[in-house]
Chains A and B, each alone.
Chain A
Amino acid sequence: MLLNPFTYHAPKTESEAAQLIANLADAKLIAGGTLAINILKSLKRNHSPTPSHVISLKKVTSIQGITLKDDKLLIGAMTKISDIIDSTIIGQYCPVLSIIGKNIATTQIKNMATIGGNITARFVWTDFQVPLVALGCDLHFLLKDDQQRIISAQDFFDQGARSQGLLTKISFKIPSKNEKFIYQRVPKRSKPDFPMFSMCFKYTVDNKRLTKTKIVMNDSCHFAKRIPSIEQNIDGLDLTSKTKTNILNKLDLSAVIGSMEDYKKTRMLLSFKDALQQMINAHDNESKY
């Protein structure tokens, strides 16, 4: 057997799942299983203690799916990455999530992994952290006795991505047409394909200037967080100015680079420059027509 024995639980409702999570302190939650099962195998191989209970969320169908409600987009925590990629709602209202989904792992993993598992797995490098913070998402948790808790994605990652209860859905206000997104993901040089870092830029063009800029980044050591120093650097950039590209040479990345190796610093600078160039190009192209 590849896994140590455990008691398998398969709740069918959100309440049942939340109650089990509250009652079984050492239980391992399984969403898509793409991280959890390998972790359990690795623990067994290393003769480490393994959980005596596993709670599979596969049968909690109420937390799957993507819907629109008023001006908000709701994504069930057990929605598969492949469903996010194929979703016409996501494609229409928030295509950056589809782009990020396409960058994740392989076809089989996309068919199994869930967005909820991606962000609650407590690995700093997971892919959906940066766009959820950039979008200003709320994470909805169900605790025991049907108590609800809503926490912003930013606060969730600032607190080390510690889940309380069952993550049921992710919600965010549908971005307006003026709000644009750019996503950058720089892979590590070797397998497996965890990103060295990934970034999501959210910005608005108002009166031909960049405004309301949000830059969110995670890397191999840190959960997703905004970078206010760089946001202030580029907010207000006049996109009609002939010297606008000078900003590319004036970026101050000292707040994020820290003690990074030189090659990482170079990759990061290139990524920022590329993203800014894309913002400038997008504006220039729109202005022609």
Chain B
Amino acid sequence: MTTNLNINKKIYTLDLLGHETLLEVLRDTLGLTGTKTACNEAQCGACTVLINGKAVLSCIMLAKDVEGDEILTIEGLSAKGVLHPIQQAFLDQGAVQCGFCAPGFILSTKALLDKNPDPHLDEIKQALDGHICRCGGYLKIFEAVKQAGRELKRS
């Protein structure tokens, strides 16, 4: 089945069978490996992408179901080689250890700050409640979100 997917503002025309998850299409078909495969059971958040600005789990989403939607992956966040303020904040605050959970956290942060530019700590924790960091870097991550919020407000 011919399927048009709008990923990072680019239209990909693919021939899909119908039973592929979005995560499989992103990584295996398109080589966009920034979105990670971890638990594959919607428990860890590593596969998070944004669909029409909302954080969703690509491991439990059929690729065919998002035809016509705007999909943002971690690859689409930076522009012309310049890191997005959220990515920069994560680096500045030391919020990236092994880095495996980072793309998911960063995209959920984008969804949060787009809706609420100045979140309280409780709001940050709630927005990121679908993510696990096995390295245990949560405090740094929360600081990174706050820094990113300040930077985005400034700009």
Most chain A C-beta atoms within 10 Å of own C-beta, residue among B19, B21, B108: B19
B56 in the interface (beta carbon within 8 A) = yes
Instruction: List 18 A-B residue pairs with CB atoms under 8 Å apart, sorted by A's residue number.
Output: A1-B24, A3-B19, A3-B21, A5-B17, A5-B19, A7-B18, A8-B1, A33-B62, A34-B42, A37-B42, A58-B65, A82-B54, A107-B108, A107-B128, A108-B42, A108-B57, A111-B54, A111-B56
Which single member of B1, B18, B40, B130 contacts A108 (CB below 8 Å)? B130
Q: Would you list which residues of chain B between 16 and 56 have a CB under 8 Å from chain A? A: 17-21, 24, 40-43, 45, 48, 51, 54-56
- Complex CA gap A7/B108 in Å reads 32
Which single member of A10, A34, A105 contacts B64 (CB below 8 Å)? A10
Chain B residues whose CB sits within 8 angstroms of the CB of A108 once the complex forms: 42, 45, 48, 55-57, 108, 130
Chain A residues whose CB sits within 8 angstroms of the CB of B54 once the complex forms: 82, 111
- Number of interface residues, chain A, beta carbon within 8 A: 28
Please tell me if the beta carbons of B60 and A33 are within 8 angstroms of each other in the complex: yes
Please tell me if the beta carbons of B60 and A8 are within 8 angstroms of each other in the complex: no
Chain A residues whose CB sits within 8 angstroms of the CB of B130 once the complex forms: 105-109
Chain B residues whose CB sits within 8 angstroms of the CB of A10 once the complex forms: 64-65
Chain B residues whose CB sits within 8 angstroms of the CB of A58 once the complex forms: 65
A192 in the interface (beta carbon within 8 A) = yes
- Complex CA gap A218/B41 in Å reads 25
B126 in the interface (beta carbon within 8 A) = yes
Chain B residues whose CB sits within 8 angstroms of the CB of A33 once the complex forms: 60-62, 65
Chain A residues whose CB sits within 8 angstroms of the CB of B48 once the complex forms: 108
Chain B residues whose CB sits within 8 angstroms of the CB of A56 once the complex forms: 62, 64-65
Chain B residue nearest to A5 (CB atoms) is B19
- A48 CB to closest chain B CB (Å) equals 16
Q: Would you list which residues of chain A between 1 and 19 have a CB under 8 Å from chain B? A: 1-8, 10
Please tell me if the beta carbons of A109 and B42 are within 8 angstroms of each other in the complex: yes
Chain B residue nearest to A112 (CB atoms) is B56
Chain A residue nearest to B55 (CB atoms) is A108
B152 in the interface (beta carbon within 8 A) = no
Indicate with 1 or 0, residue by residue over A25-48, a CB within 8 angstroms of chain B CB atoms. Answer: 000001001100110010000000
- Complex CA gap A188/B24 in Å reads 32
Q: Would you list which residues of chain A between 37 and 70 have a CB under 8 Å from chain B? A: 37-38, 41, 54, 56, 58
Please tell me if the beta carbons of A1 and B19 are within 8 angstroms of each other in the complex: yes
Chain B residues whose CB sits within 8 angstroms of the CB of A4 once the complex forms: 19
- Return the 6 tightest CB-CB contacts between A and B, nearest first: A8-B18, A106-B130, A37-B60, A108-B130, A111-B54, A3-B19
Chain A residues whose CB sits within 8 angstroms of the CB of B59 once the complex forms: 2, 37
- Complex CA gap A37/B20 in Å reads 11
Indicate with 1 or 0, residue by residue over B113-155, a CB within 8 angstroms of chain A CB atoms. Answer: 0000000000000111110000000000000000000000000
> Could you list 7 further interchain pairs (A-B, Cβ under 8 angstroms) beyond the known A2-B21, A8-B17?
A3-B20, A37-B42, A106-B130, A107-B128, A107-B129, A108-B57, A192-B43
Indicate with 1 or 0, residue by residue over A104-132, a CB within 8 angstroms of chain B CB atoms. Answer: 01111101100000000000000000000
Please tell me if the beta carbons of B21 and A37 are within 8 angstroms of each other in the complex: yes
Chain A residues whose CB sits within 8 angstroms of the CB of B1 once the complex forms: 8
- Complex CA gap A243/B128 in Å reads 46
Chain B residues whose CB sits within 8 angstroms of the CB of A107 once the complex forms: 55, 108, 111, 126-130
Most chain A C-beta atoms within 10 Å of own C-beta, residue among B54, B57, B60, B130: B60
- Complex CA gap A8/B21 in Å reads 12
Most chain A C-beta atoms within 10 Å of own C-beta, residue among B24, B57, B59: B57
Most chain A C-beta atoms within 10 Å of own C-beta, residue among B18, B51, B62: B62
